[in-house]
Amino acid sequence: MINRELLDPQSIVVIGGSNNVHKPGGAIVRNILQGGYQGTLRIVNPKEDSVQGIKVFHDAKELPPTELAVLVIPAKFCPDTVELLARDKQTRAFIIISAGFGEETKEGGEMEQRILDTCATYGAALIGPNCIGLLNRNHHSVFTQPIPKLNPKGVDFVSGSGATAVFILESAVIKGLQFNSVWSIGNGKQIGIEDALQYMDEHYNPETDSPVKLLYIENISNPDKLLFHASSLIRKGCRIAAIKAGSSESGSRAASSHTGAIASSDSAVEALFRKAGIVRCHSREELTTVGCIFTLPPLTGKRFAIVTHAGGPGVMLTDALSKGGLEVPKLEGPVAEELKTKLFPGSSVANPIDILATGTAEQLGTVIDYCEHQLDDIDAIAVIYGTPGLTTLYEAYEVLHQKITECKKPIFPILPSLHTAGPEVAEFLAKGHVNFSDEVTLATALSHIMSTPAPAPPEVQLYGIDIPRLHKTIMGIKENGYLPPDTVRELLSCAGIPIVPEMVSSSKDELINFASRVGYPVVAKVVGPVHKSDVGGVTLNIRTPEHLALEFDRMMQIEDATGVMVQKMLRGTELFIGAKYEQRFGHVVLCGLGGIFVEILKDVQSGLAPLSYNEAYSMIHSLRGYKIIKGTRGQKGLNEQKYAEIIVRLSTLLRFATEIKEMDINPLLADDKDVVAVDARILIEK
């Protein structure tokens, strides 16, 4: 639970506060005092009479009623102290900095549980244990540095790791990123990352609250809760980026299907973030760069003007933006020629707009004005401006400050001279701006943002799935394991997924008659072994009854063979769809190109069932091999709409069939007209 006493306490006691600011107890007192805390601050220390100018209580029993307690004492003393304060001093919020609890030993876990039980009994909030504290505009109850600049529209940052939170703050402060609050949840037994998001969601006021949330996550204990509140916040106008570190052992276990081998807990995280609309980051620099981008006006298009006085960084930014799916359009025509007359000879306006090393602050302002008012095919402006140390940059950065304030198009300042022009950059940041000192890191972050879809709708659409027939089919399955082909066909049929005509039989004559009806050529596949190709159990392009008869006889001799499947042979590009059930997350659906793309290159994208059409299209468009689906070099594209429809239908089927633990449809054969399932495997565990 999160309460007023935790967020805005009228009185705080630091149990273990000291004069030594090089230790947590002293550093917390210092930070609370320097943060301008407006309430009553008390200290408990049995060995000191005064701590940093504050009279000390030698025993917690001597305290008057106090709303928030920050504990910086050995773990073994914490349970009794929490009970005393909650019972006798009406303390209703606790921040426990101390380590040595459930993260270390069984006995520590028992102490932690006792604290949790006490908090539950008295309705008290608990941050920690094993954390750096809580920082907001009301109180700075953390023992670490740096303390970032705080304002209501700064970032809300929630971290599952205290040390990592400090390193992320270091990265953010250098960029000028400001904060509204910093939550270090530690062991997170009562208040975890999902609980912090829930509170922010349920109490969100767009007029007064921060619209940007950054998360560092080590464990997702409640994926549904995270999904619900993150997507709800984003629909309310917030923007969220997150790092998820670590993966479970389930991703590395041996698996008998392509999906089982490729899918992992990380696939589930990727799918969850996609469904929620969370921008996924993989490093501290990416996370803080995305956070800085979120503080600027949102991009309304992909077309960038790059303004620079150094050619190399402009070229690198052009390459990185283009690689990330953004555009740096060539500027030409009368407006471009007119702009060129405003610059020194030798300047280029083709884009990047290079004003040369001798370009002036006035010329910088002129170029930005042209990009803002006269170049309609430009959506955003990146300004690269540093110095080799020959001149100061105060005037240029003042122009940049004015233009950022005036312009409607977002301006991304790339000020690389952090050492040579340190004072100028510091003055620029002090005016409330951010700085992207590395152009490629900026481009990477922008591409992550642009490729992240909006939150999926929470409603489940049936899309014509025959739910009663599906349940009847599942109920009729008596044994766990891979399903026989006829049951697989029945389940795919329940979802309306088109299937190639086929027959399974142990009768040679039946199969020859079937092949004659559907027409040659046909494909023969052994039934029984899971990996048919590995045992020589697949033959393509069978054109005569005699050839089919020979293949039937050969395949029935394969170990574990129970029959032979004959299919009408189709031609097209191979596609892949798979699914795997991840505990707590549900079904992770994978899509990609078939063949080597899935087996060797692992070019797949993941989504969390059930999927909307927008999610399916986002997955398809994010594939590295998407150009093949779209059509390239004169080749017709594949029927992308049909592919998306099958992904959506399959994901909806899985939503109502949790007994399905793994599934492959590989391949689907696709052309510009149709997409048809050719082979499928389904693993059932009831």
Confidence band of 247 (pLDDT split at 50, 70, 90): low
Q: Which residue has the tokens 């929470």?
A: 458
Q: Is pLDDT of 435 > 50? A: yes
Task: Indicate whether 610 and 532 sit together in one domain.
Answer: no
Give the model's pLDDT for residue 468: 94
Q: pLDDT tens for residues 74-112?
A: 999 999 999 999 999 999 999 999 999 988 888 989 999
Using the 3D structure, point to which of 568, 590, 614 is the last residue of a domain.
568
Task: Indicate whether 424 and 310 sit together in one domain.
Answer: yes
Quote the pTM value.
0.88
CA 557 centroid distance within chain: 50
Residue 117 one-letter amino acid: D
- Domain hosting 526: range is 501-568
CA–CA dist 481, 320 (Å, integer): 47
Q: Is pLDDT of 252 > 50? A: no
Domain total in the chain: 5
Provide Rg for the chain, Cα atoms: 31
Q: Is pLDDT of 261 > 60? A: no
Q: pLDDT tens for residues 51-81?
A: 999 999 999 999 999 999 999 999 999 999 9
Task: Indicate whether 155 and 289 sit together in one domain.
Answer: yes
Asked which of 70-84, 247-261, 348-362, 649-663 is least confident by mean pLDDT, the reply is 247-261
**Mean pLDDT throughout 33-40?**
96
CA 403 centroid distance within chain: 32
Task: Indicate whether 30 and 85 sit together in one domain.
Answer: yes
CA–CA dist 305, 318 (Å, integer): 9
Q: pLDDT tens for residues 579-605?
A: 999 988 999 999 999 877 787 778 899
Task: Indicate whether 655 and 623 sit together in one domain.
Answer: yes
Share the mean pLDDT of the chain: 92
Contact 487, 477 (CB under 8 A): yes
Confidence band of 526 (pLDDT split at 50, 70, 90): very high
Task: Indicate whether 98 and 209 sit together in one domain.
Answer: no
CA–CA dist 230, 234 (Å, integer): 6
Give the model's pLDDT for residue 264: 52
> Does 622 reside within a domain?
yes
CATH of the domain at 264: 3.40.50.261
Task: Indicate whether 608 and 547 sit together in one domain.
Answer: no
Task: Indicate whether 223 and 334 sit together in one domain.
Answer: no
Write the burial class of residue 527 (CB in 10 Å: 0-12 exposed, 13-18 middle, 19+ buried): buried
Q: pLDDT tens for residues 371-409?
A: 999 998 999 999 999 988 778 899 999 999 999 999 999
Give the model's pLDDT for residue 254: 36
> Does 495 reside within a domain?
no
Contact 598, 260 (CB under 8 A): no
> Does 452 reside within a domain?
no
Helix, strand, coil percentages (3-state) for the chain, rounded to 5, are: 40, 20, 40
Q: Is pLDDT of 350 > 60? A: yes
Q: Is pLDDT of 256 > 60? A: no
Using the 3D structure, point to which of 239, 272, 294 is the last residue of a domain.
294
Q: Which residue has the tokens 């301006």?
A: 411
